[in-house]
Amino acid sequence: MRSQLNIVSTDGSTGNAANRTVSTALRRIRISGALVAFSVMAALIPCAQAATQAAVNRADSFLRTADRGKEVLSYVHFGADYHGHSFVRTLDVSDGVGTFGLVYRFRWEDDGVTDVEFLCTDNGFVYGVAIPYTNAEWSPPFLWANASISILGHTLIEAYKDKLSDEDRKQLHALVDKADAKGLLQWRLRFEQIFD
């Protein structure tokens, strides 16, 4: 590149002006090329981490059944009558663990509505739960389940005792001791999806 610039500058009296013009043009081309390259890389990075349709389908087929909906509602609004749940939307997640979330709207009691976001790995396995919306005033999510956790927790441990490792049993006892209904729901969803 330098030899071409020197040749241009030795072509005559306007060599310095021509040299500056060529130099400026080359600089602009390099900057434009770099911007294009970075733009292409930025566009490709999310694609590499985006959820595949197979992963979304795996999570949805696990979560969409009425039985699963009743189970989830029993943790979120313990004792409430289940009136169905439906898919609302898919979200991108970039928390270092998962790549997408599926949001379902749960209808319960007379007019109760709660949206539950299920956080999923890139393979479609549920690892977390969040509540982005609820109209509950007297029954906030997980409140009554936390209050009755010793019964619920020990029932869960008893139901899975043949399938639990010592580590699983320790984790469950810790969640029961903390009265953590949300943690128990997350653990149960992960465990059931493995064996589903």
- Terminal alpha carbon distance of the chain: 64
pLDDT at 158: 84
Instruction: Identify which of 172, 130, 135, 168 has the alpha carbon closest to the alpha carbon of residue 150.
Output: 172
Say how far apart CA 149 and CA 146 lie, in whole Å: 5
The residue-averaged pLDDT of 23-38 equals 46
Domain ranges for the chain: 2-49, 53-195
Residues 6+ apart with CB under 8 A from 105: 85, 86, 88, 113, 114, 115
Residue 17, token pair as written in the block: 């002006």
Higher-pLDDT residue of 73 and 148 is 73
Residue-wise pLDDT for 41-71, tens only, equals: 433 334 334 679 999 999 999 999 999 999 9
* Closest among 47, 62, 56 to 91, alpha carbons compared: 56
Distance (Å, rounded) from C-alpha 97 to C-alpha 125? Answer: 11
Q: Can you tell me the distance from the alpha carbon of 125 to that of 140, in angstroms, rounded to the nearest whole number?
A: 26
pLDDT greater at residue 31 or residue 188? 188
Note the pLDDT of residue 157. 82
Pairing mode of beta strands 82-92, 126-134: unpaired
Name the pLDDT band for 36 (thresholds 50, 70, 90): very low
Q: Are 9 and 18 in contact (CB under 8 A)?
A: yes
pLDDT at 101: 97
Model confidence pLDDT, tens digit, residues 112-141: 999 999 999 999 999 999 999 999 988 899
